[in-house]
Structure 1
Amino acid sequence: MPRTSSSLLPRLRRVRRAARWARKNFARAPRMVRIAGGVAMLLAAIALLNIVAQMVRKPTELFFLVGHSLDKEPAETWARYGPLFRRHSTAAITPELLAALAQVESSGNPVARTYWRWRWSFNPLSIYRPSSSAVGLFQMTDPAYAEAARSCVRGNAVTETGCGFTSLYIRTIPSHAVELASVYLDRQVADVLARTGDVKASPQQRQDLAAFIHLCGAGPATAYARRKFQMLAGERCGDHLVAAYVARVNAIKRQFQRLAADDGD
């Protein structure tokens, strides 16, 4: 212990000397240099505080340390999560649709995060922050999670009985994420179709509607269903063209259908 103390003392003295030297030279610097230096230090402090604040608000942002190392090609996604997609599928939300949405949203990465975005705000801690609360295989947001966590999938059907502790589900755990997504989309598809009255939907139209809901939410999806499932040219939700998003989901879904067929051979 004495050796440790004796080795630390010289280091502390060097740090104090360096700090005194920096203060002395900073005080002697021209006024504009001092102002610029002060502003730079203030901005650096705000940036550091903002990062800490965002991590507290959304701890899953710490998964930036993992980055894209858990991204997967479609075949890997199916090999890893295929049994989960099958177990938690429903009549409307097929295993291949779940797989396609997971691939499009996160490349099969269970801890995928959303991007960060600049926004003008008088609150310095809101200027640069995650674009949404989305996280996990399906990039599920907090409101969607709160709605889905009340139910579960049992026997490939959504139910509110015998669900146990689904309210404690974690979106970065693949089995939880798949079940939550299936519950949310199955319920939303049923609710949207109920609101549209006499509109009849084929299985493919139900799956397109599910992809639409996943991207845009129930409001725009209801309008889409009332148009007899006709896309509007140039319609966007967030940063995505809706028609392009749904087409991409369908294209990747066909890949997973081939992978599922290969499993059955």
Structure 2
Amino acid sequence: MNNPCVAHRGWSGRAPENTMAAFRMALEAPEVAWIELDVQLSKDAVPVVIHDYNLRRTTNGRGEVRDWTAAELASLDAGSWFSPKFKGESIPTLDEVLRESAGRAKLNIELKTDGIRYPGIEGKVLERVYEYGRQEDVVFTSFHPGTLQRLRKLSDHVRLGLILDGWRNTLLQELRELKSDFLSIGYAKLNPARMALLNEAGIQTMAWTVNDKRNMRKVAALDPDLLICTNYPDRWRDMVSESGAKSMSRRMLEGSKKWFRFKPNK
């Protein structure tokens, strides 16, 4: 069992989501292969990293992200809501994350748009990724197919991934039309038959968001290459360690039974 671990919004179980504290914590963990993050545009069209369109839940600001400049967003406290020890954590720019993660983890960059909000976000984000030479270790994902279509028109080479929390019979055809080889899907929507279809089509799949070890084991058993997205990389690590120990114990037990069964008489 060697499923790659994806830190959802950074190590968001231990630090405020989508902050440099959460990203640095994930980057320091050798078990984290990928980091998932959310990108929107500030009022002055700078790509910034935050999940909600509204600032209320994760900052001390009010109103929508798009109504604040990047400098104004950087002045907000994006950490105190999680814990007083993270007071002063700010909303990072995409540039900060690209710099910090270079050579350390791949990125799953979700473009937070409904197709109307943030016109031009595709080009702005793509420009920053190319500026840092990260196009080979980044996948761009979105719930909105039109966003992926616009990205594809801008570049034939970047990886694209559709996000959904469901399954439909047209899914593989949709991915082919988008020239996408990546799928981000709610873990409960996966089963062995669907996993087989995705593998046959050459689609790399990420299951989100799996936060307890029992479900991690079930999801991991579907395919060893299935990416597991979690808020708790330490639980993923413990699950892999426990599964490996159980597997070794079974092999040792089977080996000992075989030895006793065929032990020659003296």
Establish whether TM, by shorter chain, passes 0.5: no
> Which structure: greater helix fraction?
1
- Give the structure with higher Rg (CA): 1
TM-score by length of 1: 0.23
TM-score by length of 2: 0.23
